[in-house]
Structure 1
């Protein structure tokens, strides 16, 4: 059985990154330092490093690294990486519009209409006799604790913005590890 791969996802052409659970995504490996992430991200573009607000005292200081494509300074970052002082690189988010394409067993995860991705995940789970899961926001994705599917508003459509993660200091799950900036991505800040 063939599954759609999101050819009409709107994601920038030419970039396809691999994902390996607990290892990393594309050139980024979990456990990298800020400097290592900046160096590895050069394959995509230029990186900007900033401090993340410390919303939870249980987590060590965290830095956000926004990677913009070459010559696309006014566009959103294609990739946002999060590095904590304690565990180093623990989260990589691929932008729904400008991010590199990442597939999970042949299913494109980046920039997909969330309802279409859900249909593909259901069909995949039925055909392969495996599970898929929903996050607490109702986004369907692979049954892989290292992938947290999020929604990102793009025009009138909510598109998929996957986060590739490992748990960080003081967290029990990847969902608990999610940076506050990603939890509120695309939503009004209160």
Structure 2
């Protein structure tokens, strides 16, 4: 399996709430994440800033596509010492396409995604939600929608999560690095 460029050509990964995304399963250790991700691309492991004393030490595993000029990681996985893998972020520009019940979530123009989320909710008689930042997303506690600037367009960068140690919600669990992507605020 290889990452490809362009929304239409992206690999497709499955999302299973509380289980994982693609080859990455919640609860994996850093070594397990690296082993699963190395078949997809090159990995780089680093420590995350410890902004909140309540959380155990956390590592960031960045997965870069093979054979592509240096670029943003296609996938970033966050692993806590206590819980293991708890957050998987799909890059809006380089990441695989991941859908929620047929609704593509990665790399979408956020206003277009909002319209489709509303239409999906009406057609399926289900709910959707807005994040505190105003981004529309499926009403699933395991999905936190973020925005990532790609060129001049704000695109969708979903985080697939489980609540980490000491947090009440996925929003509380969000790694501080996810507030800034490519040295730009995602808000």
Structure 2 counterparts to residues 163-174 of structure 1, below 5 A: 163-174=159-170
Please state if 1:11 is matched with 2:7.
yes
Please state if 1:61 is matched with 2:57.
yes
Q: Give TM-score scaled by structure 2 length.
A: 0.93
Corresponding residue number in structure 1 for 2:71? 75
Q: Which portions of structure 1, spanning 4 or more consecutive aligned residues, are displaced by more than 6 angstroms? A: none
2:145–2:159 contact (8 Å) kept in structure 1: yes
The CA RMSD measured in Å over matched residues stands at 1.6
2:10–2:95 contact (8 Å) kept in structure 1: no
Superimposed CA distance per residue, residues 142-180 of structure 1 (whole angstroms, 9 cap, x where no aligned partner):
010000000000011000000000000000000000000
SS of corresponding position for 2:168: coil
> Please, which of 84, 93, 111 is the counterpart of residue 89 of structure 2?
93
Corresponding residue number in structure 2 for 1:5? none
> Please, which of 16, 24, 42 is the counterpart of residue 20 of structure 2?
24
Superimposed CA distance per residue, residues 85-129 of structure 1 (whole angstroms, 9 cap, x where no aligned partner):
000000000000100000111110000000000000000011111
Alpha-carbon distance in 2 for matches of 1:22, 1:34: 18
1:110–1:162 contact (8 Å) kept in structure 2: yes
Corresponding residue number in structure 2 for 1:145? 141
CA gap 1:12/1:46 in 2 versus in 1, 3 angstroms: farther
> Please, which of 104, 108, 130 is the counterpart of residue 104 of structure 2?
108
SS of corresponding position for 1:68: strand
CA gap 1:162/1:74 in 2 versus in 1, 3 angstroms: same
1:12–1:99 contact (8 Å) kept in structure 2: no
Please state if 1:161 is matched with 2:157.
yes
How many residue pairs were aligned?
181
CA gap 1:149/1:171 in 2 versus in 1, 3 angstroms: same
Report how far residue 44 of structure 1 moved. Answer: 1.6
Alpha-carbon distance in 1 for matches of 2:174, 2:25: 17
Report how far residue 183 of structure 1 moved. Answer: 1.9
Report how far residue 64 of structure 1 moved. Answer: 0.3
SS of corresponding position for 2:7: coil
Q: Give TM-score scaled by structure 1 length.
A: 0.91
